[in-house]
Amino acid sequence: MHARVLPNVGDIPLTAVPKDASRSEGPWQLAGFAYLCVSLGLNIYYISFLASSVTNNYYWAGFNSTGTETFLGDLFNSKLPLTYAIPSPLGLNRSLATFKSYAGANTFIDGSPSAARAAMISIPLEQAVVALRKTSFDTNIALSPYCWVDLKRTFGLAISAARQHRCEQHDMDNAAVYFEIPVRNSDGLMLTASINATIFGPLESIPAGQQWVASIASLVGLSAQDEVQVWRHAGLARWTFQMHNAWQNGMKQTIQIVNALGLTYQVGIHTVPYIHQSYNSWTTVNAWIGLPNMLYTCAALGCSLVRGMPNSIDQMPFDWGSDIVTGPTSSPVATLVTQYVGPYGLLDIRFVAPPRQLLDVILVFQVQYLAALALDPSTQRVFVQGSEPAVDPIPPSWIGVEYYGGNPMCLYETPRPNIQPPFSFGDACSATVTHTVTLGRMSSLFAITSMDLTSTVMARSICSLCATTATQSKCQESLSVSMSIYQTLSTLDSLPSMSSALASQVSALNVTVIQFATTSNNATPILLVQQMIRPPEAWTFFGWITMYEWAVGRREVYTFQGDVGNVTTITPSQPFVEQPANPLELPQRACYYVLYIVFYTTFAFI
């Protein structure tokens, strides 16, 4: 057992206790209290600073659907058409500026009206296989103008020899024009009776056809990768649809946002819904009635869709265009289209993409002009406040005739009082609308820059093309403002020199606006054609405006090819498709967990 001695306070002398102990601890206590206050203040400041960044899972301060998300949608929608579908860096500079306000509660993303149709110009083969196998057979074959039955191109499907020749010129590498492909890759083969009567039956009457029909079974059920290899082995490199307006293709465009934690989120910037048009709105039926209609018609009339047969369509005692497709008509439009392009029912409508040089020049133009406007507030105010009138220019050679429209698909039989718009996706041939050109602020500056327009005489000549005194006055007022801005912002010295080469390239495409007409006594049909870019004509100013709108997705260019000739025409300007940003795409769950953890750790340590 160990003895323990308990200390007694009385044993400690008072002289051993420092008299100033309480005084020496005072400063330390004060310093500790100050540290606690400063620490608490800094933590509160940090939390308040952090709070703005953790209101969403992107950890992007101030990000909301009506502001930042809508701006990003507008930004990418405006730049994507100018990238030519290739990876391109997006520089952070003043060219990203926009004159649109995002401060309101109701803001909308401006989407390209032609984006879904532009996407059809070249679909990756891998995606095409997947889409085919998810779609019914009758939909797969509905509206692609087929050229061949088989991948070896032994059996043609074009109605005429001239169209078969066009197939060889333009579509040998296009997987969308081979009938064998949907036969092998679609579930539930439909229309079997009509197909047997018009395609399989005629093929089985010859040895080569019998071999092909027997070979189909061995290629059914391939994996998607193997299917693409079969296509490539046959020389197919793309999947391109021709234009039709039987339905509007659906599409959704998204961008990806990667947050500070490396997590990726998808954000929608443009959505185009699938819309099936009514029969009356399907005007391109006059160009191509669709394979199902051809199957039914030939099954009833006893003709073969396969070329080279005794009962092939071009061997039958009827005219496919006038007897089957359009029926009897006295329309000058039908007369002129048949005379200069070719018979109805055999027309190819091909989407024309803007040339790369045009896109590059417009991208440079936007960078330079927007940067210059940002540095000159007074000129910027003049620019923003400028008007954008719709004017009605008429080529000088088009005056004094009766107009029947500019759409080859609209078989008008009575004249219209004024020039009608050219072909477009949404033209149902039911309304009388005057063709106009909008003098947009940016498009007008681009046209002025491309022409190096400084002469007031030329400006008056341009506006004199407008049909009425009222639109001439609006044109002169708008053009005067745009010319003054051009002269003030003298930063684009390189662009006029670029435009001469660009004008040559665009002119070679022969993009035109057309009008079907008759002489004033309603006797002789006349096809009026005006090339959009023909320097130094005054009309070229309006041509450059349309080229700008084509590049940014507000207009489209199509070539109508027929057995006789072709015509390339530009569509009317279309407004941007407005749609609100989806607030449900703004994730806001994980960020609150982060905020709560910061709250807890902050006050726990304190």
| Partners of residue 516 on adjacent β-strands | 527
Q: Look at residue 514 in the predicted model and tell me its pLDDT.
A: 98
CB-count exposure of residue 443 (10 Å: 0-12, 13-18, 19+): buried
Q: Look at residue 410 in the predicted model and tell me its pLDDT.
A: 96
Give dist(CA 529, CA 337) in Å, integer. 13
Q: Give the number of other Cβ atoms within 10 Å of residue 400's Cβ.
A: 8
pLDDT band at 16 (very low <50, low <70, confident <90, very high): low
Give the phi and the psi of residue 64 in degrees, each rounded to 5. -145, 170
Q: Tell me, yes or no, whether 305 and 425 share the same domain.
A: no
Number of domains in the chain: 3
pLDDT (mean) for 520-540: 91
397 domain-assigned: yes
- 43: containing domain: 28-55+594-605
What is the pTM (predicted TM-score) of this model? 0.89
Q: Tell me, yes or no, whether 421 and 555 share the same domain.
A: yes
Q: Look at residue 87 in the predicted model and tell me its pLDDT.
A: 78
Exposure string over 214-225, b if 16+ CB within 10 A, otherwise e = eeeeeeeeeebe
pLDDT at 484 over 70: yes
Considering only the C-alpha atoms of the chain, give the largest distance between any 2 of them, rounded to a whole number of Å: 139
66 domain-assigned: no
Q: Look at residue 596 in the predicted model and tell me its pLDDT.
A: 80
406 domain-assigned: yes
pLDDT at 301 over 60: yes
Q: Look at residue 50 in the predicted model and tell me its pLDDT.
A: 76
pLDDT (mean) for 241-258: 93
Q: Look at residue 495 in the predicted model and tell me its pLDDT.
A: 52
Q: Tell me, yes or no, whether 441 and 497 share the same domain.
A: yes
Q: Look at residue 102 in the predicted model and tell me its pLDDT.
A: 92
pLDDT at 387 over 70: yes
126 domain-assigned: yes
Give dist(CA 117, CA 423) in Å, integer. 15
Tokens of 251: 């599409």
pLDDT (mean) for 214-222: 84
Q: Look at residue 8 in the predicted model and tell me its pLDDT.
A: 57
Q: Look at residue 20 in the predicted model and tell me its pLDDT.
A: 57
Q: Tell me, yes or no, whether 598 and 480 share the same domain.
A: no
Q: Tell me, yes or no, whether 601 and 553 share the same domain.
A: no
Q: Look at residue 498 in the predicted model and tell me its pLDDT.
A: 60
pLDDT at 432 over 90: no
Q: Look at residue 29 in the predicted model and tell me its pLDDT.
A: 79
Q: Tell me, yes or no, whether 438 and 395 share the same domain.
A: yes
Q: Which helix (H) or strand (E) holds 527?
A: strand 525-531
Q: Look at residue 420 in the predicted model and tell me its pLDDT.
A: 94
Picking from 192-201, 445-454, 516-525, which range would have the lowest pLDDT averaged per residue? 516-525
Q: Tell me, yes or no, whether 353 and 229 share the same domain.
A: no
pLDDT band at 515 (very low <50, low <70, confident <90, very high): very high
pLDDT (mean) for 317-331: 94
411 domain-assigned: yes
pLDDT at 13 over 70: no
How far CA 505 is from CA of 145, 375, 508, 587, in Å, comes to: 30, 33, 5, 47
Give dist(CA 96, CA 174) in Å, integer. 37
Give dist(CA 441, CA 388) in Å, integer. 6
**Residues 6 or more apart whose Cβ sits within 8 Å of residue 450:** 495, 496, 499, 502, 503, 544
Instruction: Specify whether the CB–CB gap between 553 and 115 falls below 8 A.
Output: yes
21 domain-assigned: no
270 domain-assigned: no
Picking from 159-173, 247-261, 332-346, which range would have the lowest pLDDT averaged per residue? 247-261
- Which residue in this structure is represented by tokens 């290629």? 219
Q: Which helix (H) or strand (E) holds 528?
A: strand 525-531
Output the CA angle 297-409-348, nearest 5 degrees.
Answer: 70
- What average pLDDT is seen over the chain? 89
Give dist(CA 400, CA 419) in Å, integer. 11
Give dist(CA 124, CA 240) in Å, integer. 9
Tokens of 424: 């477009």
Q: Tell me, yes or no, whether 313 and 231 share the same domain.
A: yes
User: How many helical (H) and strand (E) elements, i.e. helices and strands, does the chain have?
Assistant: 21, 14
Tokens of 46: 């940090």
Share of the chain above pLDDT 90, in %: 66
Tokens of 301: 């009339």
- Which residue in this structure is represented by tokens 């206790």? 17
Q: Tell me, yes or no, whether 599 and 569 share the same domain.
A: no
Higher pLDDT, 20 or 526: 526
Alpha-helical runs (H) found in 259-355: 291-301, 332-340
Identity of residue 378: S
Q: Quick: pLDDT tens for 125-161.
A: 999 999 999 998 988 998 889 999 999 999 999 999 9
Q: Tell me, yes or no, whether 35 and 138 share the same domain.
A: no
Q: Look at residue 606 in the predicted model and tell me its pLDDT.
A: 62
Q: Quick: pLDDT tens for 73-104.
A: 999 999 999 987 677 788 777 778 888 899 88
Give dist(CA 451, CA 447) in Å, integer. 6
Give dist(CA 408, CA 561) in Å, integer. 11
Higher pLDDT, 542 or 33: 542
3-state secondary structure of 535: coil
How far CA 158 is from CA of 20, 64, 178, 194, 294, in Å, comes to: 111, 54, 11, 17, 12
Q: Look at residue 572 in the predicted model and tell me its pLDDT.
A: 97
Q: Say how many residues make up the chain.
A: 606
Output the CA angle 146-150-162, nearest 5 degrees.
Answer: 45
pLDDT band at 6 (very low <50, low <70, confident <90, very high): low
Side-chain-side CA neighbours of residue 471 (13 Å): 19
Tokens of 417: 């009082």
Q: Tell me, yes or no, whether 210 and 121 share the same domain.
A: yes
Among the listed residues 572, 557, 538, the one whose alpha carbon sits nearest the alpha carbon of residue 390: 572
Q: Tell me, yes or no, whether 599 and 567 share the same domain.
A: no
DSSP 8-state assignment for residue 253: E
DSSP string, 262-277: S-EEEEEEEEE--EEP
191 domain-assigned: yes
Give the phi and the psi of residue 432 in degrees, each rounded to 5. -95, 110
Tokens of 64: 């909301």
Instruction: Specify whether the CB–CB gap between 270 and 77 falls below 8 A.
Output: yes
